[in-house]
Amino acid sequence: MRVLWLVRRNLTTFPGGDTIQVIQTQRALESLGIEVDRRPVDELPTLQDSNEYDLLHLFHLDRIWENLPAAKAAMKHNLPYTLSTIYWPTNRFDTSARTGLNGCIARIFGEHIFQSVRQIERWSGSRFKEGVNTPFDLMGFRFNTAAKFLLSNAAVCLPNSTIEWEQIKEQFEPQSHFVPIPNAVCNAFLDQADEPATQRTGVICVGRIEPRKNQLNLIRAVSAEFGDPINLTIVGSPGRFSSAYHKTCIERAGPSVRFIQHQSPEQLRSIYQSAAVHVSPSWYDTPGLVNLEAGVMGCSLVVGSDGSAREYFGDAVQYSDPSDPRSIRDAILRAQDLHNSGCDTSGLQHTIRTKYTWERAAEETLKAYKAALE
């Protein structure tokens, strides 16, 4: 089987969780004998591609402005496509915590108009700032209409969880099949998960520093505002458009908070193994690769209440309301108490090691491909 993957052009120059998902899934699929040709999404499918490939695979439901022309080109040449949705409704974050002009638009005009305006903004930014040659498609700037079109014409959709698909169905009512594909942990962490840990202490937060990841509320949660300060180490670099947010985090952090720049997987292993608690109070995650990494390395987890974390972790982690610093603090204290009482995290580690590997993600992706071709 030969599959053409079309991904965002800056997948590796501005890496994110989707970068790991794409690269690791591709490697695992190729080990199963699937030929994957990965190209930028603005290189639209041609008639020749329809003869050379069995399927087209697109990524990101909310990147409508570039995926819609690719999907229409594939349909024109009778090349079926699958879609990894990587999506969660952003309503709560947009109206509560999104900053700048976009936050104002979301709060004044509502989510539907904001998402459409956002598509125009992102298309023009990629076209004129990054030189991405994505054609103009008027439907692409009507977010809900275009998303429903993209979903309903996909041979199969590939969300990262069943609950993600339920959110998509509620919002867009797509007429399409789906196969959930789990997010996973890299072997760099799985291979070391059984190593004896050093004495664990303290709280860490790993990930890009940006409004969606909610480090500001986390900094408030561990401050003296709500009681004795809690020692916290934030590991990560500012997001692509979040240098001002990063600066604000540093300014508001007290002496109990320290910052470490982005680390390699090898460096992260020892950081995870030395920490008692990993906290990621994001506004939404699906479910957040750092949560899987920290969990398999033996940390007690605190996660945000939105997103797909409950499907992945069940009752094995502590949940917090991202809008409420006191809720975040209480969840951290519960996790610390469980750690101090000797609570065993091996059950969570076993779940991650057996259910959330890139090999399993590739196997489920292959099932989806076969379903699409049927």
pLDDT digits (tens, 9 = 90+) for 258-311: 999 989 989 999 999 999 999 999 999 989 999 999 999 999 999 999 999 999
Q: Residue 197: its pLDDT value, please? A: 55
Residue 278 confidence (pLDDT): 98
364 pLDDT tier (thresholds 50, 70, 90): very high
For the cut 80, the answer to whether the pLDDT of residue 193 exceeds it is no
For 203-213, the pLDDT digits (tens) are 999 999 999 99
pLDDT for the residue 196: 55
* Three-state secondary-structure class, residue 60: coil
**Domains present along the chain, CATH in parentheses:** 2-184+357-373 (3.40.50.2000), 187-355 (3.40.50.2000)
Alpha-carbon span 328 to 70, nearest angstrom: 41
Q: What is the structure's pLDDT at 126?
A: 82
* Residue 16, SS3 per DSSP: coil
**pLDDT, tens digit (0-9, with 9 covering 90-100), for 26-81:** 999 999 999 999 999 999 999 999 999 999 999 999 999 999 999 999 999 999 99
Determine the pLDDT at residue 246: 97
Considering only CA atoms, which of 270, 257, 198, 252 is closest in space to residue 231? 257
**pLDDT at residue 132, as a whole number:** 78
**Residue 82: pLDDT band by 50, 70, 90 thresholds?**
very high
Task: Write the single-letter amino acid at 129.
Answer: K
Note the pLDDT of residue 56. Answer: 98
pLDDT digits (tens, 9 = 90+) for 326-362: 999 999 999 999 999 988 899 999 999 999 999 999 9
Q: Which residues touch 108 (CB under 8 Å, ≥6 apart)?
A: none
With cut-offs at 50, 70 and 90, classify the pLDDT of residue 86.
very high
- CA–CA separation, 159 vs 162, rounded Å? 7
Distance between start and end Cα atoms, the chain: 13
Give mean pLDDT, residues 95-106.
Answer: 87
201-243: per-residue pLDDT in tens?
A: 999 999 999 999 999 999 999 999 999 999 999 999 999 889 9
pLDDT higher than threshold 90 for residue 123: no
- Residue 323 has which token pair? 């809008």
pLDDT at 194 > cutoff 90: no
Asked if the model's pLDDT at residue 191 lies above 80, the reply is no
Mean pLDDT value of segment 111-120: 87
Q: What is the DSSP letter of 128?
A: I
What DSSP line would sit under 208-251, residue for residue? -BSGGGTHHHHHHHTSGGGSS---EEEE--B-TT-HHHHHHHHH
Q: What is the DSSP string of 353-372?
A: HHHSBHHHHHHHHHHHHHHH
The position carrying tokens 């004998």 is: 33
Query: Is the pLDDT reported for residue 249 higher than 70?
Result: yes
Instruction: Please check whether residue 304 is in contact with residue 283, taking contact to mean a CB–CB distance below 8 angstroms.
Output: yes
